[in-house]
Structure 1
Amino acid sequence: MLVDSHCHLDFPDLAEDLDEVVARARQAGVGHMLTICTHVTRFERVLAVARRFEGVDCTVGIHPHEAGKEPETSAETLMALADDPKVIGFGETGLDFFYEHSPRDAQERSFRQHIRAARESGLPVIVHTRDADTDTVRILGEEQAEGAFPGLIHCFSSSAQLAERAVELGMMVSISGIVTFKKAEALRETVRALPLDHLLVETDAPYLAPVPKRGKRNEPAFTAYTAATVAEVKGVSEAELARATTDNFFRLFTKARRPAAVAAAE
């Protein structure tokens, strides 16, 4: 079984044929999906999708692009929304200095509130970082000094130094379809060096479809292509990669319910 640890099933690109999208994921061996919240004001829509399907959970959070537009949201509010059994983490949150759709100070304040929610609840924080490695490392380090919290860097495409620091802080690193791109050799080198027990796989659907689907709408079924490339890079079988990344997901997201068939097989 594979887990798509980061997708956006509530986005309009997937909504028109969502039943078929989920069915294709099952057929491709993707037994669990995590659909990610980007606007706290749209959280109910995200939660409704998670409630609709067995084996789909969700998060609550504010994407850094939206940090200056969404209501400023406290850790207490995030934790209250996470009371639902289908809500298993916070985010995505973090820093994006490439587009800077929101002011940097608003991004940082929001990021820290999500981290505080993770620390106080024990649920992981899902971190988005782009062109912001230095500040991401600074904030993660400062917040870890206040007390440990679980989390992951999603859709990883940053420096090897950020990956190493994330592992030092006990975080997971999630790999998207970018790893299959022809010009992503530096990312493949980073993946090769990362410990297998710190890796997850994801689609970030409907974006970033992997080779050989690049240019098309991405969907959770395509997790299999990313996983195959990661397995090749790591020098392990696809079955071993699937077992490891699935184990890593359920070890990190302790609130998620592992499918009965997989749990029984172990």
Structure 2
Amino acid sequence: MSKKRREIPVFDHPIIETHCHLDYLKDRPLEETLAQSRQVNIEKVITIAVSPNNLAAVRELAANTSCVYGTQGIHPHEAESYNDAVDQEIRQHATDEKIVAVGEIGLDFFYDNADRDVQREVFRRQLQIACDTDRPVVIHSRDADDDTIAILKEFENSLARRGVIHSFTSGPGLARYVLDQGWCLGFNGITTFNKAENVRDIVRMTPIDQILLETDAPFLTPVPYRGRENAPCYLPFIAEKIAEIKNLPLDQVLSQTYQNSLRTFFPQR
């Protein structure tokens, strides 16, 4: 007999899903996904752009769904598809009413799906858009800690003091740099994985007022639902894990991460 999975907990405090990919979800209709999110008190969902092919899709999702917000940006995997037209599209829509950040941008030297020099150039170009539009950034960094720090230092005096390294799996050096800048680190289902003690170590060193909750759905489904497609409704498991790792009351984690999300992405709301 298979072991029954624990039901998703429902908390009184609202939660903000700061990073998912709604247009990548396949297992259930969007309406059902959002209904399940509402059932566990997820108040806002930020869906993330990653390529020229989904910039418009993200804008449409955000514009047509009251609880959904979006970003505009090109993931490092797609850096070689970046051109002046894409740059102009991101720049034009970065300040749309329902667009809250420039992202997902950054460097990925693990998969190396794009030439590293091209990744660096595209990262810089999109950071400049964030500077010019006074938008926070959502950054992806994998096996590229030193280069990420070096490039961010070039923009230290002009970037908004709001941003996040999402799905943080990097080392303490990058964590300390980002935290010193007043930015946040985003943590997801990886925190629940058995072999992710390195990530839990970063959670321990991160002040609670600089942590954001995310799922990165449809990827990185948390325990106890690993093996299923991820979805924003699993976010409560991540909140519980953060509280456990940091030995803090769950209410404090929920309240503070909610305020962190507002400060980062919704400062005028």
Using the size of structure 2 for normalisation, the TM-score is 0.90
Distance 2:184 2:249 in 1: 20
Give the unaligned 5+ runs of structure 1. Answer: 258-266
1:255–1:75 Cα change, 3 Å? farther
| Paired letter, 1:182 | N
- Aligned ranges for residues 217-236 of structure 1 at < 5 Å? 217-236=229-248
Partner residue in 2 for 1:147: 158
Equivalenced residue count is 255
Partner residue in 1 for 2:22: 9
Distance 1:256 1:228 in 2: 28
- Aligned ranges for residues 49-68 of structure 1 at < 5 Å? 49-68=61-80
- Aligned ranges for residues 147-166 of structure 1 at < 5 Å? 147-149=158-160, 150-166=162-178
- Tell me if structure 1 keeps the 8 A contact 2:72–2:99: yes
Distance 1:12 1:224 in 2: 19
Distance 1:222 1:11 in 2: 16
For the pair 1:198 / 2:210, whether they are aligned, the reply is yes
Partner residue in 2 for 1:37: 49
- Aligned ranges for residues 126-145 of structure 1 at < 5 Å? 126-144=138-156
- Tell me if structure 2 keeps the 8 A contact 1:177–1:211: yes
Partner residue in 1 for 2:58: 46
1:124 is matched with which residue: 128, 136, 153?
A: 136
- Tell me if structure 1 keeps the 8 A contact 2:106–2:140: yes
Distance 2:267 2:102 in 1: 12
1:27 is matched with which residue: 35, 39, 43?
A: 39
Give the unaligned 5+ runs of structure 2. Answer: 1-13
1:243 is matched with which residue: 232, 255, 269?
A: 255
Distance 1:220 1:256 in 2: 24
1:61–1:165 Cα change, 3 Å? same
1:61-97 CA-partner distances (Å, limit 9, x unpaired): 1010001124356765423112321111111000001
| Paired letter, 1:99 | Y
Distance 1:51 1:165 in 2: 35
Partner residue in 1 for 2:7: none
Equivalent position SS for 2:222: coil
Q: Which runs of 4+ in 1 moved over 6 A?
A: none
1:86-128 CA-partner distances (Å, limit 9, x unpaired): 1111110000011111111111111112211222222111100
1:12–1:252 Cα change, 3 Å? closer
- Tell me if structure 1 keeps the 8 A contact 2:95–2:133: no
Equivalent position SS for 1:4: strand
Q: CA RMSD in A?
A: 1.7
Deviates more, 1:232-241 or 1:222-231: 232-241
Counting aligned pairs with the same residue, the percent is 37
Using the size of structure 1 for normalisation, the TM-score is 0.91
- Tell me if structure 1 keeps the 8 A contact 2:25–2:217: no
